[in-house]
Structure 1
Amino acid sequence: MTVDTVEARRVRWEDPETAPLREELAREYVTRYGEGAREELTRYDPALFTPPDGVLLLLFEGGAAVAGGAFMRHDERTAEFKRIWTHSDHRRRGLGRRVVAELERAAARSGYRRVYLTTGPRQPEAVGLYLATGYTALFDVGADPLTTGHLPFEKHLPGDD
């Protein structure tokens, strides 16, 4: 199947369809950062990822969730992207790019004009995705990411500014 056969749907954090996202993100975080990283998934109230200020969306293929992500309000003009994920069996197909594009459209429709996000220093795939989709690194990309901590990015969305 191609990325074109994938359907985007808004969901709630508590919905059963989010189980693959929650399980795989927990596994990824623990594998890369240790057991304490599991807490990252409970750091934010799920209500932050609901309209009007936020969104959680999943991409479905053949009825199964294969990728997803969310945003919440960072400030009046800025959405903060969180939980961008692609199922381990579906990577390298452009689904991450599709998630980012869907989130950007939803954020722009919600009135946001800027996206802010961070990723961890042990997630080079995420760094590559954000740079490839037009995000500006707000850190020295030449520095050792393990000495930098969280890696922030931003992107300005088209608008009526």
Structure 2
Amino acid sequence: MTVSRNVFHVGQHDPLAGPLLAELAIEYSTRYGGTPGEVHAELTEYPVSHFAPPHGDLLVVVEDGEPVAGGAFQRFDAETAELKRIWTAQGQRRRGLGRFVLEQLEAEIARRGYRRIYLTTGPRQPEAVALYTAAGYTALPLDVREEVGYVHPFEKFVPAQAVSV
């Protein structure tokens, strides 16, 4: 069976991003507390421009017409993009979609001329830590945050030949 896979670059309020944000809200509220509605409000309070060109992007992977994975990045500083909202649908995990999303985001980050990628993930997301470690990200010292205790920050440098100028 052949799966039709497409990658769409969308805005935060695009209907294709809806399942990503809704499922992330449930996932984060289950792991860290708060209601899915409260977490969803936090996810959508970012200005739309954070995840839009020229400094950011939000992509959704669609297979056979259904959103199955996605992720975003925003400008952290002039040289650094910050990954956010990496997501794979609950029923689609363990198929390499998280790694695929990461590769797509990294390629777009390089096209935008960033030289470094930064991200944080929470203490209750060991599968995210494993993904980033396997993808060549370097763990930075833990960052203590009152709301979750600590977060795992990571970085990865974009290879010089990959950066567009």
Q: Structure 1 length normalisation: TM-score?
A: 0.89
In structure 2, the residue matched to 1:155 is: 156
Structure 1 residue aligned with 2:79, among 69, 77, 83?
Answer: 77
Unmatched 5+ residue regions in structure 1? 141-146
Secondary structure of 1:35 counterpart: coil
> How far, CA to CA, are the matches of 2:109 and 2:25 in structure 1?
25
**1:43 Cα deviation from its structure 2 partner:** 4.5
CA distance in 1: counterparts of 2:11 and 2:72, whole angstroms: 10
Matched residue of 1:126: which SS? Answer: helix
RMSD of the TM alignment (CA)? 1.9
Q: Counterpart in 2 of 1:9?
A: 8
Q: CA deviation at 1:158?
A: 1.2
In the alignment, what sits opposite 2:145?
none
Q: Which aligned segments of 4 or more residues in structure 1 are displaced greater than 2 angstroms?
A: none
CA contact (8 A) 2:12 2:44 kept: no
**Paired residues of 2:82 and 2:117 also in contact (CA < 8 A):** yes
**Deviation by residue 1:107-159 (Cα, 9 ceiling, x = unmatched):** 0000001100000000001000000100000026xxxxxx9601100000112
Partner of 1:46: 48
Q: Quick one: structure 1 residues 107 and 12, their matched pair in 2 at CA, closer, same or farther if it must change by over 3 Å? A: same
Change (3 A) 1:40 1:131: farther
CA distance in structure 1 between the aligned counterparts of 2:94 and 2:48, rounded to whole angstroms: 28
User: For 1:98 and 1:45, how far apart are their aligned partners in 2?
Assistant: 26
The TM-score, its normalising length taken from structure 2, stands at: 0.87
Of 46, 52, 57, the residue aligned with 1:55 is 57
* Partner of residue 115, structure 1: 117
Q: Distance in 2 between matches of 1:151 and 1:66?
A: 25
In structure 1, distance between residues paired with 2:92 and 2:71: 15
**Aligned partner of 1:9: which letter?**
F
Aligned identity (percent) is 55
Q: Which amino acid aligns with 2:23?
A: E
Q: How many residues align?
A: 154
Cα distance in structure 2, aligned partners of 1:5 and 1:149: 39
Contact 2:118 2:153 in 1 (8 A): yes
Contact 2:72 2:105 in 1 (8 A): yes
Structure 2 residue aligned with 1:34 = 33
CA distance in 2, matches of 1:52, 1:69: 16
The 10-residue stretch of structure 1 (77-86 or 34-43) with the greater mean CA deviation from structure 2: 34-43
